[in-house]
Structure 1
Amino acid sequence: MDKVVNCFSRNPDAVVRLICFPWAGGGSIHYARWGKVLTSSIEVYAVRLPGREGRAKEPFFQSMQQVLDEVTDALLPQLKEKPFALFGHSFGAMTSFAFAEYVKRIHKLEPVHVFLSGASAPYSEMRLQAPKRSHLSDHDFLQWMSSIGGTPPELIANPEVMKLFLPALKADLHVVENYRCSKPEVPFLSCPVTCFDGKEDLPHDLEAWKHMTSGEFTVHMLPGSHFYLKEAANEKVILDHITKHLETAEMDYL
């Protein structure tokens, strides 16, 4: 499990685990540090995909099913052990959805809460009509990255850094661009689903996410563009919201 999951703060007494999926090209450290910020009742598992950090020499995944197989195999005992919740931003929102659907369908396990950020639902028309980015030239790709914000300009202007970073980003975008699923005919979850997004980001079809659950569905818009969640004030709002809802998760779970 340690290869697939980064956990800064092991806490066997936690009442719930928060499993966080990275954005495209992202690593695990941003979320892993949440384990030192959130209350002791929440243990954070930050997913680490191949091709980055300590797994830099491993080949990138080519499909969503590869992501699901590896993460499920690594975490299945923990999923059965105590309540779990999911968080994902952008590409991570897509993998969170796919993971929730997969573990419910195959293993009859359901999260106590799903937190999604910065993405349209995978079956929404807005997402299906979105332009593909993974096959852009490096020059055009970097221009697009500059337009969405979140990556320091000095890094984008550094060819050596981009040479290391771009392959992981393009690989993850290839996975999500080729991921297809139908709109659920009936909700497959009953837990609450919370969506966050940046007010200045490109529009996302957030309302379409409500079709995945029969439980409570809420949307929270925060100031900022695509990587609004990196801003300290916004991160505090998100973490306070997660804490508020997960500290009572054990009672709902039981």
Structure 2
Amino acid sequence: MTSSVQEKSDWIQRFHPAPDAKNRLVCFPYAGGAASYFHPVSAALSPGIDVLAVQYPGRQNRRTEPLLRSVDELARHATTALRPWADRPLTLLGHSMGALVAFEVARRLAGDGAAPLSVVVSGRRSPTSVRHEDVHKRDDQGIVAEMERLGGSDVRMFQDPELRALFLPVIRADYEAVETYRYQPGPSLPCPVLALLGDNDPMATLDETRDWAERTTAPFELRTFSGGHFYLNSHAAAVTEAVRENIASLSS
């Protein structure tokens, strides 16, 4: 049964409630992304897994809310919103920026004595693999060029002034959060980490992704797929199955 505390959170979207599921999957969007990106994942895994998607401020149903500009802030608020949902084992799945937010949420939950079942990080180098990037400081056209390079968005929408004004501030704020993030030393995760990577991803090399193994005292696994940063768009079924297998292997 869903509690009133769960129902009140603007941070959590639940597209296909699965009240009888043994496990929950929590999905964290990429920079500029929204909870709805994971609607297909929810549809594919329900009712066997109860899927939640985190909705950051400033987009979709939260578009009038102030944007957050640090991974720490995003993780802190998301953790607070997720605590009522930790009555069942949680697996955290994050793509790109979402992988960092998921990692920081996992650290906080573990500190509360409610460590996740596992953490699945996609399209993101490890927290200690630092690159000095400044996309968030570019002009609007520079950000659009970055979106085009990564291939995750239909850049034609930025030709519409209204859409441009709606989406670019969100993307800029998220890039600021990612690019100013610095790992703060602390206990390693006590749960397994599964890393997923496109073999032609300009945002994360194989070695940078392998470094996630240093962030857990539990087993680490790395799986690669053909494609770039948004490899999961063309491998949706395989990625969803990998997540399902990960949860099943740990909860059996």
What TM-score, normalized by structure 2, do the two folds share? Answer: 0.90
Q: Which has the higher contact order (CA 8 A, sep 6+)?
A: 1
1:76 pairs with one of 58, 83, 96: 83
Q: Distance in 1 between the 2:62 and 2:114 partners?
A: 28
Moved over 6 A (4+): none
Q: How far has the Cα of 1:170 moved from its partner?
A: 0.8
Q: How far has the Cα of 1:250 moved from its partner?
A: 3.0
Secondary structure of 1:181's aligned partner: coil
CA contact (8 A) 2:17 2:47 kept: no
Q: Distance in 2 between the 1:118 and 1:245 partners?
A: 17
Secondary structure of 1:201's aligned partner: coil
Which residue is equivalent to 2:224? Answer: 221
Q: Distance in 2 between the 1:178 and 1:157 partners?
A: 28
Which residue is equivalent to 2:144? Answer: 142
Which residue is equivalent to 1:50? Answer: 57
Which residue is equivalent to 2:194? Answer: 194
Alpha-carbon deviations, 1:8-52, whole Å to 9, x = none? Answer: 111111111001111001110111332211142211100001000
Which residue is equivalent to 1:92? Answer: 98
Matches within 5 A, 1:93-112: 93-105=99-111, 107-112=112-117
Q: How far has the Cα of 1:109 moved from its partner?
A: 1.5
* Distance change in 2, residues 1:55/1:208 (3 Å): same
Secondary structure of 2:10's aligned partner: coil
Q: Distance in 2 between the 1:183 and 1:221 partners?
A: 28
CA contact (8 A) 1:194 1:219 kept: yes
1:120 pairs with one of 112, 125, 132: 125
Q: Distance in 1 between the 2:178 and 2:152 partners?
A: 20
Q: Which runs of 5+ in 1 are unaligned?
A: none
2:45 pairs with one of 38, 41, 46: 38
1:3 pairs with one of 10, 33, 53: 10
CA contact (8 A) 2:16 2:46 kept: no
Q: Calculate the aligned-residue CA RMSD, in Å.
A: 1.7
CA contact (8 A) 2:150 2:228 kept: yes
* Distance change in 2, residues 1:181/1:144 (3 Å): same
Matches within 5 A, 1:236-251: 236-251=237-252
Q: Distance in 2 between the 1:66 and 1:147 partners?
A: 28
Q: Which runs of 5+ in 2 are unaligned?
A: 1-5
Which residue is equivalent to 2:174? Answer: 172
CA contact (8 A) 2:109 2:116 kept: no
Q: Distance in 2 between the 1:23 and 1:111 partners?
A: 20
CA contact (8 A) 1:21 1:47 kept: yes
Secondary structure of 2:45's aligned partner: coil
AA at the equivalent of 1:172? D
State the identity as a percent.
31
Q: Distance in 1 between the 2:157 and 2:197 partners?
A: 24
CA contact (8 A) 1:42 1:247 kept: no
